[in-house]
Chains A and B, each alone.
Chain A
């Protein structure tokens, strides 16, 4: 029987897993998924950013109460929360690609973990703020 490692005939692939795959230096097996998610979130970002640009413009010069009423209205708070989720996912994948391109080894792995933590923290803090503003706006409505 032919040795599974033998590909000296130049045609058959060696039937063994390459060392780089065993060491985890090969494909991360989520490239296509990330590619599609990056496009999907890009589209969502695009639509939501346009909507929220008008909100941002409308925010200028508002008093605290008016600002809470605007951001805390469901018509703003819901798209805003969706935008936060989409942007943070997009940012996480985007920065991951950049890190994978330029930083390798343990430093790269460390940065990838920090990147994931960073995206989760930013998203979590932003969502917390939106929920709190939403509740503040609701309590004003209830008091009235």
Chain B
């Protein structure tokens, strides 16, 4: 009976493994699921910046001027673009969750939905920042 667990030489055969992250070829739905968690945690950083901005405005003209200079710096701008992308990616991921919660999106279309989350987040981020730059220039 126990022979199923033993190989020809009587040694122990390795038990079957269930698939896990270490051996799974990444597929888009899986990566987007991880991204939802990563962007959720990233959003905390973006929130802290927003709160710092609000506190600076509440504290008066001098601190607001400091905040304006800080947020106007190109390096901080790059960080802000990253946080914008994170928030939008997470928000679109939230839409995907809403579709699932309503009982849809489990068929073949799920891969398309995952790609749309990624593409949509990049497109909307670029569009928003293009709008900001245009508004600042004119």
Contacts and interface: CB of A to CB of B under 8 A. Distances in A.
A125 B47 CA distance: 12
Contacts of A39: 97-98, 101
A87 B43 CA distance: 10
A122 B47 contact: yes
Contacts, number: 67
A64 B65 contact: yes
B7 interface: no
B131 A57 contact: yes
Nearest to B62: A64
Contacts of A95: 41, 44
A61 interface: yes
A89 interface: no
Contact of A125 (B55, B64, B65, B101): B55
Instruction: Report the interface size class on chain A.
Output: 20 to 34
B128 A64 contact: no
A116 interface: no
Prevailing SS type, chain A contact patch:
helix
A94 interface: yes
Interface in A36-95: 39, 42-43, 45-46, 49, 53, 57, 60-61, 64, 67-68, 71, 87, 91, 94-95
Interface of B: 37, 40-41, 43-44, 47-48, 50-51, 54-55, 57-58, 60-61, 64-65, 87, 91, 94-95, 97-98, 101, 128, 131-132, 135-136
